[in-house]
Chain A
């Protein structure tokens, strides 16, 4: 199982960025996927989750209305579109496979750093 995030970088406040996660070594379409972030020196914050067929999507209140999670099962890929970015969104963004309903987030990528700064 491998999860590889990409697309992080420096973005100005109010800007947008799309991060991606490529999954391999497992049947990507069979698993709920999540984004979890970690601000520098801070703890983990769950951001969003998406079910196997994208029918069930949830967001943390801190990103609702600004971030959109999506997936392309044909390309074994997970995405997070981030709009109206603020300083508080600066973090390492991890994608993680699994569900809170049983099993947990059992595989994590190495993360991609998003820095929001002018």
Chain B
């Protein structure tokens, strides 16, 4: 059971928009930055969003991050087949003094 809760899967058609939720608590999402990682099949994870809503160079502006209270959201617009991957939210938990990840969400672009 992960500390952060994500939906196991989401799907949408090419060109459409999708959101992935990440629910936590006051000791993790509510108190710290949220990060999003993309893991393409058979590869290592890659940082997609950092400090809750910032994009590293190389992350298209189709990807966005936001946070409200103890929940965070990853948004992807203009879906492409190349976006099919597993997406993980992560943050620091101040009570556990540990990094925590969500269970991951598999995105399917139909």
Contact = CB atoms under 8 A, between A and B. Distances in A.
Interface in A54-72: 58-61
Interface stretch (A9-17, A20-28, A44-52, A78-86): A44-52
B45 A100 contact: no
Given A46-B101, A60-B98, A100 B47 contact: no
A43 B45 contact: no
A65 to B, nearest CB: 14
A44 B100 CA distance: 9
Interface string A81-101: 000000000000010101011
Chain A interface residue count: which class? 20 to 34
Interface stretch (B16-24, B75-83, B87-95): B87-95
B90 A44 contact: yes
Interface in B51-90: 51, 56, 86, 88, 90
Given A43-B103, A61-B98, A106 B90 contact: no
Nearest to A60: B98
A54 to B, nearest CB: 16
A44 B51 contact: no
Contacts of A61: 96, 98
Interface residues of B, number: 27
Nearest to B96: A61
Given A104-B35, A108-B45, A111-B44, A46 B50 contact: no
A110 B44 contact: yes
B100 A58 contact: no
Contacts of B50: 102-104, 106
A46 B2 contact: no
A60 B45 CA distance: 19
B108 interface: no
A73 B1 CA distance: 35
Top 3 A-B pairs ranked by shortest CB distance? Answer: A46-B99, A100-B92, A104-B50
Interface of B: 2, 32-33, 35, 37, 39, 44-47, 50-51, 56, 86, 88, 90-92, 96-104
11 contacts: A43-B103, A44-B88, A60-B98, A61-B96, A100-B32, A100-B33, A100-B35, A104-B50, A104-B51, A108-B45, A111-B44
